[in-house]
Amino acid sequence: MKMIEGGVCAAKGFRANGIHCGIRHNQSKKDLALIVSDVPAATAAVYTQNLVKGAPIAVTKKNIQNGYAQAVICNSGNANTCNADGVQVAEKMCALVEGATGIPASDVVVASTGVIGQPLDITPIASGMAALTADLAYDNSTAAAEAIMTTDLAKKELAVEFTLGGKVCHMGGIAKGSGMIHPNMATMLVFITTDAAISPEMLQKALRTDVTATFNMLSVDGDTSTNDMVTVLANGLAGNDTITCEGEDFNVFMKALNTVTVQLCRCIAGDGEGATKLLECTATGADTLEAARISAKSVVCSSLLKAAMFGADANWGRVLCAVGYSGANVDVNKIGVFFRSCAGCVEVCRNGAGVPFSEEEAKKVLLEKEIEILLTLGDGPYSATAWGCDLTYDYVKINGDYRT
């Protein structure tokens, strides 16, 4: 895998743009994004498991039932959720794409993010379509990445290059996510594009398999969002033989997808609302994959552990506590814990009990921006990684007046 520039425009045949159309009061904030493929693309998606779902999810599900789409439209600033006319507004957004590009409304993925329970006025979106489509470009991923941001402090986009059957392929993604991030797919907006050729069925299989080990292992605050999704469009313009079954090409495709999704997970976790540190917990030596995943996820979800990391406090007991109540089938007498960063590595627990360590050295390790929590559960063959962030005063400040 080779990391490259370009985001969702790195793959052949994808154009993008993002503008401020007037949904958000701050005119310096873009609030409407569009991604368009030159040709129809195999499409797969996974959605939030919250019972309260945004109207765009219902419309997107209907539109990609046949496994194909050609465009993605997304607004920020309003979630279009819990609105009586939500479905109609989402459908109008798709119709506006058809009117501006000629792409059938039934081939459009639609998404919204922002405040819940406030009606979404279609007027600014309709007024902005001419400007949005006029500047669609094959090198404009960044504008789209900026337009889907809400409380995000940094845009999230990346791309990779890989080879399938001798053909050079590309895959890129953009994401938004800073708060309301918690496992139970999907709890953010992620749009991924690729010029690789793959059937809709295998694309859906690849995505569902991948999210179990990536986006479902991500938590910022324990709140599962209402509207968000992860979507992949594959237009096949790279010219490789279409992937229709498992095998070497499917494995390479899965590796490319995982490279993109893992990096987007790290970007989202590191940009958690009010966060100052990215936390990565890797659990190894588990007897089952489930035990590894549950243990790692429980650690990054612990509010007490997240607060300790904010204070650079090597309170390893909170790691064991989180594993202990996680429900994972582990032997607590075999648990070991290390804290690691670019400043060094400190062992703080072995076989379920504390070991002598330098508090000063540990603080130095935990003052860094990226912290690894290494959790050993025994001598089993399974491992898993989860991502999160610290819990800070600013998280409360941000969410204390998010709506107003």
Q: Which of 119-123, 268-272, 319-323 shows the lowest mean pLDDT across its residues?
A: 268-272
Residue 131 CB coordination number (10 Å):
13
Stretch 82-90: mean pLDDT: 94
* Residues 220, 135 contacting (CB under 8 angstroms): no
What is the per-residue pLDDT across 17-72, written as a single tens digit (0 to 9) for each? 999 999 998 888 999 999 999 999 999 999 877 777 789 999 999 999 999 999 99
What domains sit in the chain, N to C, each tagged with a CATH number? 2-270 (3.60.70.12), 278-400 (3.10.20.340)
Query: DSSP characters for 345-368?
Result: EEEEEETTEE----HHHHHHHHTS
- Per DSSP, what are the bridge partners of residue 113? 76, 78
Number of alpha helices (DSSP H) and beta strands (DSSP E) in the chain = 11, 15
* Average pLDDT value for residue range 176-189: 56
The whole-angstrom separation of Cα 203 and Cα 243 is: 9
Q: Which of 150, 151, 187, 224 is catalytic?
A: 187
Q: Can you tell me which residue has the tokens 């953010």?
A: 188
CA distance 74 to 288: 39
* Residue keyed to tokens 């040709």: 39
What are the pLDDT digits (tens) for 216-265? Answer: 888 754 445 566 789 999 999 999 999 999 999 999 999 999 999 999 98
Please state whether 357 falls in left (phi above 0), alpha (psi between -120 and 50) or beta.
beta
Burial environment of residue 27 by CB neighbours within 10 A (0 to 12, 13 to 18, 19 or more): exposed
- For the cut 60, the answer to whether the pLDDT of residue 404 exceeds it is no
Q: What is residue 180's predicted lDDT score, i.e. its pLDDT?
A: 46
The mean pLDDT of the chain is: 91
For the chain, what percent of residues have pLDDT higher than 90?
Answer: 76
* Token duo for residue 253: 């495709």
Mutual orientation of helices 86-101 and 123-134 as an angle, nearest 10°? 30
pLDDT digits (tens, 9 = 90+) for 148-173: 998 777 889 999 999 999 999 999 99
**pLDDT score of 85 more than 90:** yes
> Catalytic annotation on 187?
yes
For 301-321, what is each residue's pLDDT tens digit? Answer: 898 999 999 999 999 999 999
